[in-house]
A and B are shown apart, each in its own frame.
Chain A
Amino acid sequence: MIHLTEAELAQAFPFYLALNPEGQIYKAGVSLCKAFPSLAAGQYFEDCFAIVRPKVATVQELAAQHDVALVVQARQQGALRLRGNILVRAEGLLLLLSPVLTSSEEMQAAGLGMGDFAFHDASGDMLLMHRTNQMSLADANRLASRLRNKSKQLDTVMRLSPDGLAYFGADGVLNYANPSFQRLLGLSTEQLDHLQRRDFEVWLQTAQVPACPSLAQMLDTHLPLHLSFNVPYRRVIELQGATADEEGGVVLYLRDITAEVEANRLKTEFLTMAAHELRTPLASIRGFSELLVSRPVPAAMQQDMLATINRQSVNMTELIEDLLSLSKLDELTRDKLKLANHDLRELLEMAVSSSFAGADDFLVTRDYQVEQCLVQVDRHVMLKLFSSLFSNVIKFSPEHKQVDLQLRPQMRGDAAGVLLSIRDHGIGMKPEQLEHAFERFYRADHSGHQPGTGLGLAMSKDIVRLHAGDIALDSRPAAGVTVSIWLPQSSSAVSACPTEHCY
């Protein structure tokens, strides 16, 4: 037999209740008294508590049910529930109870603290556990929301990125592709839907020219692939890939390097062409001068040779000057332009009078549908542009010597502007000539009959772009060429440049 003293009982079960056979309370644990300060000896148990479990009508019936869990609920005191064991004693019933609490708040509401529980009673631990779980839940929610935010940020970055990004999961199915990925490869949304990596590789092999090594090879070597596509437009795309996670997902990264590749090609071409263009006049200068030095030449021939030497050196100077202006233009940025408000009509007239001075037989017609036409431009650079265009007009109009100038207002989106068209009636251009017309050194006429450097239109384009405008060409063979230049109009017509400072 194990006997407990009353003090030991109170320490081990601070919520105990002792009832006499009549169902009156005659002793209670100290913590129970703390929770129910009004509890007093002699009170009937059933006046203070309702028996929830087991289902019995009176407290006396509990004696027969001592092997089941007892659950009681206070009739006052926030309806606190207590749970415990029933011990049947000769003196009556001994109820070994403990409050059923689910949070510290409930414990506090019951007027209790952790110290009111016996050490063996895990109620306190439960509350700590509950508190910690709540805290952890809040932590996890915070973590998740931070991750969600991060993934939102990343999503925006990826959505706006000009570079293509895609992720194939470990199962080989496309999990994510940003809009640029779709655009750069020219894939439809249906094609991307559930796209398998295998099918993507097959597609890659067939869609681009020439076929590239496989994706798997690229992942092994870590070397980027260059993919060339012709449809729907010509482009070169660099493809890089990396294993993204432990499961074997793969991230693909695409970058449009068409411009870079093109720039490189143009640079090489430019150097070759420039060398070639310089070599031709140089060869004739050298040939004729050698002739003149090495043997006597009749005076008339001598004159001819010297004239050629002179003409070719003028050509070379012109070429070199063009090259220099072009390289200056390359370095020129908008902020280096001496921008001021000028009337476009006046600039045009100045260019006309100087360009057509030696071509009296040229008819210049004007159709200006604007009153005053202020544009913010660098006067010097603009005059250069017009005289370069007019010299083309003269060069390529051997017969029908007429140029029509037209100015009319035109909006581009929200921007007010003016459209200048310069139309000649000369030999015109074929579509393939038109296509390359703005390339440096491109010449519609390869016969060498037309003098010039082939740099004029390339420069024109640079100049117009620097002025935030655009330039376009339209032509048919034998029907002349129309150059259209759109320039934004000055927003402040009042700040017009006083005439005396303009010229």
Chain B
Amino acid sequence: MYGLVNRAVEQLVEQHLGPTGWARVCKQAGIADDGFVAISAYPDQMTYKLVGAVSQEMGMSPEQVLEAFGEYWIMYTAEEGYADLLQTAGTSLREFLGNLDQMHSRIETVFAQMVAPVFSVEDEGPGRYVLLYQSQREGLAPMVVGLVKGLAKRFDQPIAIEQLPSRAGFAGVFRIQEA
């Protein structure tokens, strides 16, 4: 994944464990603690190893780490560098989720080798809809939960999100119920 993702993991870890904590995580993951360059592509394996090491270091499951990371991504990373982009994608959670693909397609011109996820939304009723997530990667569904929770906070819209049994061809199916 792009350095942008890995360095967000670094920032999240530093925020909680400080630079020495980050150094420990890197050691555990077997990668250099020099840092990442946002626009450089790194092997996916590196990100997975990092998540594994963070989970050990913080005593959380990898799923919890991914979810925390998803939320952090929205609150800090996307906000820090791509606030304009976030702004164009909608003024409510529902609208934003509907524009996710368009948003990622914008990013694709910057991160040319990006393997972007594909999202679609099915409405079930007022304030109730299903988010469908397709991916070429494994195991990142918990991150989507965190991302959606982060977005909900961003729009100040309390929600409940539950992961439904997945459908063929999808990496995750989530029902979102607005409060």
A114 to B84, Cβ gap below 8 A?
yes
- Contact A139/B84 with A125-B106, A128-B109, A128-B110 known, Cβ cut-off 8 Å: no
**A137 CB, min distance to chain B CBs, angstroms:** 9
A104 to B84, Cβ gap below 8 A?
yes
A135 to B81, Cβ gap below 8 A?
yes
Which residue of B33, B34, B109 contacts A125 across the interface (Cβ within 8 Å)? Answer: B109
B88 to A115, Cβ gap below 8 A?
yes
B39 to A133, Cβ gap below 8 A?
yes
Chain A binding surface SS class: helix
Chain B hits for A122, CB < 8 A:
109
For the complex, is B4 an interface residue (Cβ under 8 Å from A)? Answer: yes
For B109, the closest partner residue in chain A by CB is A125
For the complex, is B87 an interface residue (Cβ under 8 Å from A)? Answer: yes
Which residue of A125, A131, A143 contacts B37 across the interface (Cβ within 8 Å)? Answer: A143
**A29 CB, min distance to chain B CBs, angstroms:** 17
B38 to A114, Cβ gap below 8 A?
no
- Contact A146/B88 with A124-B106, A125-B106, A128-B109 known, Cβ cut-off 8 Å: no
A114 to B85, Cβ gap below 8 A?
yes
Chain B hits for A124, CB < 8 A:
84, 88, 106
Q: Mark B22-36, 1 if CB is under 8 A from A, else 0.
A: 000000000001111
For the complex, is A177 an interface residue (Cβ under 8 Å from B)? Answer: no
Which residue of A113, A125, A127, A136 contacts B3 across the interface (Cβ within 8 Å)? Answer: A136
- Contact A128/B107 with A113-B84, A136-B40 known, Cβ cut-off 8 Å: yes
A139 to B3, Cβ gap below 8 A?
yes
**B78 CB, min distance to chain A CBs, angstroms:** 11
For A143, the closest partner residue in chain B by CB is B35
For A144, the closest partner residue in chain B by CB is B34
Chain B hits for A420, CB < 8 A:
none
**A435 CB, min distance to chain B CBs, angstroms:** 52
A136 to B107, Cβ gap below 8 A?
no
- Contact A113/B87 with A131-B82, A136-B39 known, Cβ cut-off 8 Å: yes
For the complex, is A266 an interface residue (Cβ under 8 Å from B)? Answer: no
For the complex, is A107 an interface residue (Cβ under 8 Å from B)? Answer: yes
For the complex, is A223 an interface residue (Cβ under 8 Å from B)? Answer: no
Q: Mark B72-97, 1 if CB is under 8 A from A, else 0.
A: 00000000011111011000000000
A129 to B109, Cβ gap below 8 A?
yes
Chain A hits for B111, CB < 8 A:
132
**A185 CB, min distance to chain B CBs, angstroms:** 33
A27 to B4, CA, bound (A): 43
Q: Mark A110-129, 1 if CB is under 8 A from B, else 0.
A: 00011100000010110111
A128 to B39, Cβ gap below 8 A?
no
Q: Mark A135-179, 1 if CB is under 8 A from B, else 0.
A: 110011011001100100000000000000000000000000000
A146 to B34, Cβ gap below 8 A?
yes
For the complex, is B7 an interface residue (Cβ under 8 Å from A)? Answer: yes
List B90-147 residues whose CB lies under 8 Å from chain A: 106-107, 109-111
**B7 CB, min distance to chain A CBs, angstroms:** 6
B109 to A139, Cβ gap below 8 A?
no
**B125 CB, min distance to chain A CBs, angstroms:** 28
Q: Which residue among A135, A140, A150 has the maximum number of chain B CB atoms within 10 Å of its CB?
A: A135
Q: Mark B57-78, 1 if CB is under 8 A from A, else 0.
A: 0000000000000000000000
Which residue of A107, A132, A142 contacts B4 across the interface (Cβ within 8 Å)? Answer: A132
For A142, the closest partner residue in chain B by CB is B35
Chain A hits for B83, CB < 8 A:
104
Q: A129-B110, A132-B81, A139-B38 are in contact. List 12 more A-B contacts (CB 8 A).
A: A104-B84, A107-B84, A114-B85, A114-B87, A128-B106, A128-B107, A131-B82, A132-B110, A135-B39, A139-B3, A143-B34, A146-B35
Identify 22 residue pairs between A and B in the complex whose beta-carbon atoms are under 8 Å apart, listed by A's number.
A104-B83, A113-B84, A114-B84, A115-B87, A124-B88, A125-B106, A125-B109, A127-B84, A128-B107, A128-B109, A128-B110, A129-B110, A132-B4, A132-B81, A132-B111, A136-B3, A136-B39, A139-B35, A139-B38, A140-B37, A143-B36, A150-B34
Question: What residues of chain A have their CB less than 8 Å away from a CB belonging to chain B?
Answer: 104, 107-108, 113-115, 122, 124-125, 127-129, 131-133, 135-136, 139-140, 142-143, 146-147, 150
